[in-house]
Structure 1
């Protein structure tokens, strides 16, 4: 008789989900399902509203990466109104976004990922959290984590008017600028964040890279999958989180596509499965071949590892050094196929974001009052793309002549990664669960497979497939399931 293992709820992520693992008669893994049982309908209830309001609505999708949604929306609105913001506006947006990256990457690494490495994957569940991490590394270092995350949120508040749900991105630029005094404060905080990012990379080296057990886990076969990779690059194929072209490379690192954001529908297809509310994107040119990897599978990865594999380098000096060290330590070749390297790449990106923050704040034009171009065109259609901390984020809006939204399509980073997440969970379960033997440590290591992607399922679940199913399970006092009703 086949057995079923359910991990519900899964832990240390944004949103809700569960993992279903089915075993065969020998107790080995036959199949896995990474289910997203929640539904959120932002794409539908934005329809009919004044399209410029969407940029103030979509940050509410998620409190972890609201700036990503706000700026993707602002860029889409630039397209809807056929207007190009002035340089100061673009700089202000990217400066706010650099702070968002620092804030988000600190949150994921220290609160969600670090417990698995600082405390170990076999630590007791009640200890495997941010408090356990602080207890292990000390209050002083824990205080630095909180301080620099607060710095980043303060910058989001200064530029975006709200630290969590910004409102200043509008068609043609920004609704307000910053003063010289605010710029000086932002610059000082940015310089401190550069030092904190360097400290975080040193901490990772000390705790993880110098620990053979951890290093073997990261580089071993448990968490390796062989997919395509996707991310934004600048004109030199360097990292850029705010603008650029979307680049795709294959399993050998060869470029197979490079396109403008408004061409995304020519390259990406989405499919729906009956067991989840989250759509599964794949490369149109390759096609869908199920949850498999290799060249015949259209599954691709985004987020830090995806970006690390598509870029030719980082665009700031310290981050470039850290990037080169990461590549050389892992064998000197790309693409890197070990999913847990997302964590290392995330810290390299934190350093890049902090350096870019300082670069932008040091430019005198950042305090110019030329921060908006007034739109004059009739509303139509626009696509905005940024690299969210969790991967390539696409906002596509259509509006009628009155400026009312008629169609909204969102493909967020976690949606782009959903195929890879399912594949990673299955691969880890197959490697870890043998003859039906499981324990808390093994199940947490299965969860580590999805946690590497820093998934945000609050952002990702927007597909409406019909009525939300109602399931009622009736159990006897002994715990035996006696009836299941599905409406």
Structure 2
């Protein structure tokens, strides 16, 4: 008898999702589908609008990562119009991007991932949530809330608003950071660095406890999509980097993305499945997000994060295909984000009023830009006419980049669980919270 397993909705997810697994009469997994939010038409919303308005529309795509959806189209329009921004504006944007990275990664680890690790994956679902974690581990909960609060308040200060920012304009930033605000956040940043170290310690303890799971469940060789700047991990600017399953790294200019990234339309999904064009579909399915970024990087941009990367690679190897290692990779990026935040706060350029180009003129052109959002690469391709009106926009977001890889990973794990009876073989640790 054919058995169908449906999980709908999938909870602790950014957005809405449903999981559908089909198991045949022979006990073999026949199909795995992961369905997400339906088409939202943002590419059509912006057609016919002034290009300079796009960065204030697209942050509505995501309430968790609106900052990258603000900065990336701004960069794309600047690319189309041939606009160069002042260095203080670039540094303010880097500060803003990393503030969001920091708050989002703290949110993801403590609110979305930690309940499974700290209470155990088979704990009562009614208790397996961040509220119960805070109640049972108040010190850790307080630290997590302070981390998220710091990041969001910094986003609001630099971006104008914490959820739907308005500060980036074509040609730079509306205003510098005030010295008073800079000094206020500088007084808090060392504590946040200690919080990030403590969070990494918690993550390493989770890795130690769950290593049997990490090393044996969901180890899926794929391609990976990241971005680097001269081989160094970077979430604001750089080139597209593809990592092959055997670890070869290939760099591509963002303007060549149509020759690199392909879109496949599966019959069951509103989101296109992305793949590496030279390898074809489905062989070229890749994964994005933190693990992909760590695999793509030759090194991290900051000292503490680079040391954490070395520990990671000593354990997992030069290229990690361990799906559960995404959480570990996320914490390495968390540490880098707060280190960069401190660097930017100490840089006098962020209070420099020379943070915008005044002679911006619209022109006909095509612009492409990327940044790395907390969940994966954002790519904006914008066509402008001579009056600065958007003629067309092509948008590739983290959902596009992740969905095919998620389905591939789920198929692999479903076969391990239902066909190979993996849950009977792996060793689970005692939960931290009982």
1:219 maps to: 215
Tell me how far apart the structure 1 counterparts of residues 353 and 134 of structure 2 sit (CA, whole Å).
43
What's the CA shift for 1:380?
2.0
How far 1:358 sits from its partner (Å)?
0.4
Whether 1:254 aligns to 2:260 is no
Match of residue 288 from structure 2: 302
CA distance in 2, matches of 1:231, 1:190: 28
For the residues of structure 2 that align with 1:383 and 1:111, how far apart are their CA atoms? 34
Q: How far off its partner does 1:40 sit?
A: 1.1
Q: Which residue of 2 aligns with 1:110?
A: 110
Q: C-alpha distance in 1, partners of 2:116/2:174?
A: 42
The CA deviation at 1:183 is 1.2
The alignment yields a C-alpha RMSD, in angstroms, of 1.9
CA contact (8 A) 1:55 1:69 kept: yes
Which deviations, in whole Å up to 9, do the C-alpha atoms of 1:133-173 show, x marking residues without a partner?
A: 2233x212211111121111111111111011101111111
The residue number in structure 2 matching 1:471 is none
Instruction: Give the CA deviation at 1:39.
Output: 2.6
Conserved? CA contact 1:397–1:408, under 8 Å: yes
- Within 5 Å, give how 1:83-482 maps onto structure 2: 83-136=83-136, 138-206=137-205, 208-211=206-209, 214-220=210-216, 222-235=217-230, 237-255=231-249, 257-289=250-282, 297-330=283-316, 333-374=317-358, 375-434=360-419
TM-score when normalising by structure 2:
0.94
Give, in whole Å, the separation in 2 of the partners of 1:367 and 1:396.
Answer: 31
Distance across 2 between alignment mates of 1:160 and 1:209: 35
Q: Deviations over 1:31-88 (max 9, x none)?
A: 1111225231111111111111110000011110000111111111211221011100
Residues in 1 aligned to 2:419 and 2:115: alpha-carbon distance in whole angstroms: 25
- Counterpart residue number, 1:3: 3
**How many residues are treated as equivalent by the alignment?**
425
After superposition, give the CA deviation of every residue in 1:225-247 in whole Å (9 maximum; x if it has no partner): 11111211112x11111001111
Residues 377 and 399 of structure 1: CA distance in aligned 2, closer, same or farther (over 3 Å): closer
Tell me by how many angstroms 1:175 deviates: 1.1
Structure 2 counterpart SS, 1:285: helix
SS of 2:323 mapped into structure 1: coil
TM superposition shift of 1:408: 1.1
Distance across 2 between alignment mates of 1:164 and 1:146: 17
Q: For residues 25-104 of structure 1, what are the structure 2 equivalents within 5 Å?
A: 25-36=25-36, 38-104=38-104
Tell me by how many angstroms 1:377 deviates. Answer: 4.9
Distance 1:405 1:61 in 2: 18
CA shift for structure 1 position 30: 1.6
Report if aligned partners of 2:381, 2:394 keep a CA contact under 8 Å in 1: yes
**Match of 1:127, SS?**
coil
**1:164-214 Cα deviation digits (max 9, x unpaired):** 1101111111111111111112222332221111010111223x1332xx1
Q: Distance in 1 between matches of 2:372 and 2:169?
A: 19
Deviation at 1:403, TM superposition (A): 1.4
Deviations 1:390-433 (A, max 9, x none): 11110111121221111111111221121110101111111112
CA contact (8 A) 2:362 2:388 kept: no
Runs of 4+ in 1 over 4 A off after TM superposition: none
**Residue of structure 2 equivalent to 1:18:** 18
Structure 2 Cα separation of the partners of residues 164 and 2 of structure 1: 45
CA distance in 1: counterparts of 2:28 and 2:132, whole angstroms: 33
